[in-house]
Amino acid sequence: MVCRDISYTYLERFPALREVSLTVRRGEKVALLGANGCGKSTLLKILDGLVFPDAGTFTAFGQPVTEDNLEDEQFSMGFRSRVGFIFQNSDAQVFSPTVSEEIAFGPLQMGWPRSKVEGRIGDVLEMLGIVDLADRAPYQLSGGEKKRVAIASVLVMNPEVILFDEPTAALDPRTQQWLVELIAELGRGGKTIVMATHDLDVLDVVADRCVVFSEAHSIVAEATPHELLSNLGLLRSVNLV
């Protein structure tokens, strides 16, 4: 995935990104860091094809990702099957009557055979330890359980790239630890991970590279987790400590 000189403004008045250039390599784990409102979530939405830059270009898997291209069914299905996005707020992502139906929604939209979908549902439920939730209604679940279901609805597609927006926010410590270990495991399995986070304590586990945004909505530094955590001046300048 390659972003070149991307800028984005909300309502033509509120800048979210200013001339952002970023390359994410296959199998890399990248953490996006910065203060609230610096543009991390907007960049994730661009990487998922949910919004489109006002200026600059975004290319994924060797093809430009544009509004016109995503209106092409073949291109859209290919892109959507290769990139998954797990929102910060699971309530915005989980909407089906039961957990099993939620997990099945994406593959069925892609035209997968029902038999294949049912097999994948079983695999993902077991992988995430939520077999007992299969017939439950999502609105009955705890925050941590909803997060697992949201993740399952993405992993069922077996995407190459997984985007996480503040994945550990508002979770209890046990679920946070589980999720950090899952992200690390996905990385070891060859998945490309891009995550926006404020959680400095998990960087050495979930990231190979840290991309730091200023409050002026641009990238000001790239570093390894160790390099970033050793640079107190930088962390203070971008309001992370």
Indicate if the pLDDT at residue 170 is higher than 90: no
What is the separation of C-alpha 4 from the centre of its chain, rounded to a whole number of angstroms?
A: 19
Same domain? For 170 and 68 the reply is yes
pLDDT recorded at residue 12: 85
Same domain? For 176 and 57 the reply is yes
Last residue of a domain, one of 110, 137, 158: 158
Contact 153, 171 (CB under 8 A): no
Last residue of a domain, one of 115, 143, 158: 158
Indicate if the pLDDT at residue 71 is higher than 90: yes
Specify the pTM.
0.96
Phi, psi of 95, deg, nearest 5: -140, -5
Mean pLDDT of the chain: 96
Domain of 208 in residue numbering reads as: 1-16+26-82+161-240
- Give the pLDDT band (50/70/90) at residue 197: very high
Half-sphere exposure of 160 (CA within 13 A, CB side): 13
Task: In whole angstroms, give the CA distance from residue 17 to residue 37.
Answer: 10
Same domain? For 32 and 122 the reply is no
Domain count, the chain: 2
Cα Rg of the chain, angstroms? 18
pLDDT recorded at residue 50: 98
